[in-house]
Structure 1
Amino acid sequence: MRALRRWWHDTAGGLPATFWYLWAGLLINRAGAFAMLFLSLYLTDARGASEALAGTVVGAYGAGGAVGVLLGGVLADRWGRRATLLAAHLVTAGLMVALAFSRHLVLIAVLSALVGVVHSMPSPAFVAAIVDVVPAERRSRAFNLQFWAFNLGMAVASLLAGVLAEASFTALFLVDAGATLTAAVVIGWKVPETLRRAAAGVDAVPPAGRAAGPRRPGLHTALTDRTFMTFVGLTFVLAVLTLQTSTIMPLAMRADGLRPSAYGVVVALGGALIVLGQLFVPRLIDRHRKDVVLAVSTALLALGFGALALADELAVYLGAAVVWTVGSMLAAPPNAQINADLAPPELRARYQSVFYLTFPAAAFVAPTLGGVSLQYLGDRHWLIVGGLGLLAALGHLLTGPSRERHVAALRRAAERKPARPDGVGTSVPGRTDTASIRTGLTEPH
Structure 2
Amino acid sequence: MQKLFNNYLNTFKGLSNEVWWLALITLINRAGTMVIPFLSLYLIKSLNFTLSDVGWVMSAFGLGSVIGSWLGGKLTDKIGYYKVMVYSLMLTGLLFIALQFLTSFVAFCLGIFMVMLVADMFRPAMFVALSAYSKPENKTRSVTLIRLAINLGFSAGPAIGGIIITKLSYAGLFWVDGVTCIIATVVLINVLNPKTTKTLDNVKTENPKSAYQDKAFIIFLVAMVLFGIAFLQYFSTMPLYYKDVHYFTEFDIGLLLGMNGFLIFAIEMPLIKWLETTKFTKTGLILFGAILTGLSFIILNMSSWTGVVIIGMLLMTFGEMIAFPFSNAFAMDRAKQGNQGEYMALYSIAFSVAHIFGHKAGMSMVDNLGFNNTWYIITILSALCVFLLFILKLYLKSKKQQKNIKEEEILWI
TM bin (shorter chain): 0.7 to 0.9
User: Which residue does 2:354 correspond to in 1?
Assistant: 362
SS at match of 2:220: helix
2:56 alignment counterpart: 56
- For residues 408 and 203 of structure 1, what CA distance do their matches in structure 2 show? 24
Structure 2 CA distance for partners of 1:370 and 1:135, relative to 1, 3 Å? same
Match of 2:285 among 267, 274, 293: 293
Task: Specify the SS of the correspondent of 1:12.
Answer: coil
* Partner Cα distance (2:85, 2:405) in 1: 33
8 Å Cα contact 2:90/2:185 also seen in 1: yes
Q: Distance in 2 between matches of 1:171 and 1:404?
A: 54
Matches within 5 A, 1:320-331: 320-331=312-323
- Per the TM alignment, residue 107 of structure 1 is displaced from its structure 2 partner at its CA by 2.5
Could you tell me which runs of 5 or more consecutive residues in structure 1 were left unpaired when the two chains were aligned. Answer: 207-220, 414-445
Q: How many residues align?
A: 396
The answer to whether the 8 A contact 1:40-1:55 is kept is: no
For residue 103 of structure 2, give the secondary structure of its aligned residue in structure 1. coil
The answer as to whether partners of 2:296 and 2:312 remain within 8 angstroms in 1 is: yes
Q: For residue 203 of structure 1, what is the amino acid of its counterpart?
A: N
C-alpha displacement of 1:364: 1.3
Change (3 A) 1:409 1:278: farther
- Structure 2 CA distance for partners of 1:284 and 1:32, relative to 1, 3 Å: same
Q: Which residue of 1 aligns with 2:108?
A: 108
What's the CA shift for 1:28?
A: 1.4
Distance 1:86 1:254, change over 3 A: farther
Matched, 1:236 2:206: no
The residue number in structure 2 matching 1:269 is: 259
Partner-residue secondary structure (3-state), 2:15: coil
SS for the counterpart of 2:259 is helix
Residues 380-415 of structure 1 show CA distances to partners (whole Å, capped at 9, x for unaligned) of 4343223312321232223213235557989999xx
* Aligned amino acid, residue 186 of structure 1: V
* Percent of aligned pairs with the same amino acid: 23
Alpha-carbon deviation of 1:228? 0.7
Find the counterpart in structure 1 of residue 187 from structure 2. Answer: 186
Q: 1:227 to 1:202 in 2, by over 3 A?
A: same
Residue of 249, 257, 280 corresponding to 2:270: 280
Residue 192 of structure 2 is aligned to residue 203 of structure 1: no
Checking the alignment, whether the CA contact within 8 Å between 1:305 and 1:382 is kept in structure 2 is yes
Worse-superposed segment, 64-73 or 276-285: 276-285
Secondary structure in structure 2 of the residue aligned to 1:243: helix
- Where 2:21 maps in the other structure, the secondary structure is helix
1:225 corresponding residue in structure 2: 214
TM-score norm. by structure 1 comes to 0.76
Partners of 2:79 and 2:284 in 1: CA distance: 38
Distance 2:88 2:405 in 1: 36
Give the aligned CA root-mean-square deviation in angstroms.
3.7
Displacement, 1:7? 5.5
Report if aligned partners of 1:223, 1:354 keep a CA contact under 8 Å in 2.
no
Q: Distance in 1 between matches of 2:405 and 2:342?
A: 22
Aligned to 2:376: 383
Q: Alignment partner of 2:339: what SS?
A: helix
Instruction: Tell me the residue number matched to 1:353.
Output: 345
Amino acid at match of 1:333: P
Deviation at 1:122, TM superposition (A): 0.9
The higher relative CO (CA closer than 8 Å, separation ≥ 6) is in 1
Unaligned 5+ runs, structure 2? 407-413
Task: Give how far 1:300 is off.
Answer: 2.4
How far, CA to CA, are the matches of 2:379 and 2:402 in structure 1? 35
Structure 1 residue 319 displacement after superposition = 5.5
CA displacement 1:183-237 (0-9 Å, x = unmatched): 21211111123789999x9312x4xxxxxxxxxxxxxx11121111111111111
> Post-superposition shift, 1:354?
1.4
Task: Determine whether 1:396 maps to 2:389.
Answer: yes
Structure 1 residues 6, 264: closer, same or farther in 2, change over 3 A?
A: closer
CA distance in 2, matches of 1:176, 1:262: 28
Deviation for aligned residue 1:282: 1.7
Tell me how far 1:26 sits from its aligned partner.
0.7
Kindly provide the amino acid, as one letter, of the partner of residue 352 in structure 2.
P
- Distance (Å, rounded) in 1 between the aligned partners of 2:289 and 2:34: 25
Distance 2:175 2:261 in 1: 23
Partner of 1:88: 88
Deviation at 1:304, TM superposition (A): 3.1
